[in-house]
Structure formats: structure tokens, C-alpha cells
Structure 1
Amino acid sequence: RNAGLKQLLPQTGLVSFLDSDDISPTGRFKADLACFGEDPGLDLTYSRMTLVDKIDGETLEPAADSHSITVRGIHLSAGIFARNLIERTGGFDEDFKQAEDTDYLLRIFESQTKYVMPDTVALYYRRHPGNMTKEADVPFREFMRAIHKSMKRRKADPSLRRVEGIFDFKDLAQWRFL
């Protein structure tokens, strides 16, 4: 990700990320980009994601028999970031084995970021046996390390915001975790 950010063209105004095993829904950017047009001072739109266990290979939409739930959670691909926000935040912490994206998002939400949270769906997050988050201890340890770093930053600098509102898990009991 850091290598990609270094390759941004000078005229690049907005940045989005997408992991290789996730899908960006058709029309994903239209509504969120309009938010930037309405407010030129906006730093970030942070949308929802749909967790799915099956994607239709032709339509690239959740399969008819897929288990799915739409939530707001920590996922880098849920955001569209203004270039100046990326520059203010700096790069991803390459000491992380995983959860560097969580650390990055926490740093963004802690700062004086101007953001909106539209109800649009930014990605289909595919849950499958090969997900990195399915490894035994590494994902949990790295996620907790990102949370700990956030706590330490906020303790050292009380002007940093508490991170609120980026988790919204409605009807989670209906989701079958794989």
C-alpha cells in the first residue's frame, strides 16, 4: 500500500483501496463522490460493507444462496480518502504483519478528520477459508496491537478524538460466521 501511495499522480485528488479478494459493487463510487462535490472540505466518506460467503462469478454480486449481512466495521475499502488526508496521515506502519489497515484507520479517525458515513455499500467482503483473518493467533494479536497503539496515542495527546461510530453491527445474530 505504501508503494502504491508513492505512485499517485500529482493530479490525484481521491484515493480508495480494495483488497484482492473483495468486490467493489457496481456504482460504488457515484453517491460517495457526490459528497465530496457537496463539501469541498470533506476528507473522507466511510460507507458500509456486506459480508458474504458466496459471490456469483458472472454478476460479481452476492450469490442467491449466499449468507450475507451489511454492517459498518473497520475496513480500509469502506473509505474514499481525500489526497490531503492521506498526506497528513502518512504511510502504513510496515511493522504490522496484519492490521496495518486497522492502525491506519484508527489514526485517521483520531485526527481532526472531516468525514461522513453514507449508507452506501462500499464492498462485498468475501468470507472464505483462505481469509488471512482465519489464521490462528496473528489477526487477533495484531488487531489488539493496533487498538493498544490508538489508546497510547490518545493518552499521550488528549486532543485526539475517541474513535466512535465506525462499528454498526445490526442484526449480527442473523449472520453465520464461516
Structure 2
Amino acid sequence: MEDNSLFVSAIIPVYNGEKYLAEAIKNVKNQDYQPLEIIVIDDGSTDRTPEVAAAFKDSIRYVSQPNSGPAAARNHGIRIANGDVIAFLDVDDLWSDDKLKLQANYLANNPSVGIVQGLIQQMKISRSEEGDRAIFEPTYKPYSYINIGSAIYRKTVFEKIGFFDETLKYAEDVDWFIRAWENGISKIVLERVSLFYRKHEDNMTGGKNLVELGFVRIFKKHLDRCRKRGDLQINSLLEVPISEYLGTSPEIPKIV
């Protein structure tokens, strides 16, 4: 590892994720990257999540909090992180094996960049299972969108624009990235799959429409901030259209 390697804090928020937690921790541990710390934030789980985490006590930092939602869990992780760089992995998703090495090295070599993102490969659960382990298969082509697990972030970016909005139950990542765009945070996309986004029946957002996911509220907040600045056609310092900054998901209409 190069001398200019950045210290990465990998944050895994989990709520009743006993089925996936061990695989997620192993996935981060197997990244060919150092220095690295793994922080598991247990958001008030009532299943065997604490027991699963205990099996990795020598290689993770495990913190339990009352159930407060994914935004609060991620924010807790950011506050206690020791790293220069923050990465997030939802407990039921997986990173590509080279994610941290590629993205952290890019950040180290490009000091003006605040966020490095990769492509997302969405996966769907198969009917077949191996024991208790669910089997997933690809769906859609890899795409670029603002699933927070597909990127890594300089910790200073959170100091500049704030943390995730804990009043939002869903789509707090969309809200956060819109604020990043408004504040001219430099973001680049490496055209390599970095996140395997696994869809299954237990996903929090499953079956929700855009209103239920909070998109109307999020964009009203965006417009209110623009009006407060006196600029409804707000221009990012990067001169990148918001639709290009956020990217396109096969499940969510493109934002103009």
C-alpha cells in the first residue's frame, strides 16, 4: 500500500440483519486495502444481530443504539469514525472486491475530488437457496446512481454540508446528494461496478411509490433552499446539471 493511502472507515448500519451481517463484514474484511476500520452500528436489532457481530469482535467496532432509522445509524458511524474517508455498506448489499482500492487511491491522487463513485449492479433474489443463504442474480445493466454504498466520501464533505437528515425515513441519500450538488462538491464516477445492490422481500423501500419514499418533500426542500438563495436555477460550482450529478436509476424517473 502506498504511503499516501487514506484511512477508510467502513460503516455498516444494521437493523435485524442477522441473515446478512456476517457476509457483509467478511466482504469488507476481504477488501485489499489498508488502513481500514469496520464500524457496525446496530440500530436496535431484536434478532441475533449482536451475537453475529460478537463473532467478529476482534476485527470490528460494534456499537448499539436505540432504533432510530438508517440515517441516524449512519450519522452515528460518521461521528465516531477515525478515518479520513467514509464508506457505507448496507448489511444486505456487497462491494466489488476492488472497490476500496480503486476509489480510495483515486481520492488520494486527486485532492480536489470529494466523492468517488462506481457503478451499481442490481441483483434480485432467486427462488433457489443454498441452506439459509439466499442466492441473487443480476437484473438490469450496471448503472450510475446515488446509492450511497457505491461511493466513498472524504469526511470533510460531511463537515461542509452536514449529515443525513434523520427526519427522513427513506431517500435520505437523495436528499444528501442534492445538498452536495448545491454546494459544488466535486464527484466523479469510475466506470466499474462497485456495489451489488441486492433486492429482496425485506428491503425497506420495497413497494413504495415516490411520494411514500419522500421524494416530493425532498425536492420541496431543495426548491426552498434555492428560493432562499434567490436562485431557482441554481448553478453548481462544477457547472454539472443536477440530473447528471445524481445519475439515473432504472426504477426512478430521471430528474431534470
TM-score in terms of structure 2 length: 0.57
Partner residue of 2:247?
Answer: 167
Within 1, Cα distance between the matches of 2:243 and 2:148? Answer: 16
Displacement of 1:68: 4.1
Higher strand share: 2
Q: Does structure 2 retain, via aligned residues, the 8 Å contact 1:98–1:138? A: no
Q: Does structure 2 retain, via aligned residues, the 8 Å contact 1:53–1:68? A: no
Is 1:79–2:158 an aligned residue pair?
no
- Closer, same or farther in 2 for the Cα pair 1:107/1:125, shift >3 Å? same
Partner residue of 1:175?
Answer: none
Deviation readout 1:28-64 (Å, 9 max, x if unpaired): 122222211221222111221111114897xx9x85x
Which structure has the higher relative contact order (CA within 8 Å, separation 6+)? 1
- Closer, same or farther in 2 for the Cα pair 1:89/1:5, shift >3 Å? same
Partner residue of 2:120?
Answer: 49
Identical counterparts, % of pairs:
22
Gaps of 5+ in 1: 173-178
Q: Does structure 2 retain, via aligned residues, the 8 Å contact 1:32–1:120? A: no
Higher helix share: 1
- Closer, same or farther in 2 for the Cα pair 1:66/1:115, shift >3 Å? closer
Within 2, Cα distance between the matches of 1:151 and 1:100? Answer: 16
Gaps of 5+ in 2: 1-73, 251-256
Q: Which amino acid aligns with 1:7?
A: I
Q: Which amino acid aligns with 2:104?
A: L
Equivalences for 1:1-178 in 2 at 5 Å?
1-9=74-82, 12-54=83-125, 66-137=138-209, 140-157=212-229, 158=231, 161=236, 162-165=241-244, 166-168=246-248
TM-score in terms of structure 1 length: 0.79
Within 1, Cα distance between the matches of 2:205 and 2:187? Answer: 27
Within 2, Cα distance between the matches of 1:95 and 1:8? Answer: 22
Within 1, Cα distance between the matches of 2:226 and 2:210? Answer: 24
Higher radius of gyration, 1 or 2: 2
Displacement of 1:14: 0.5
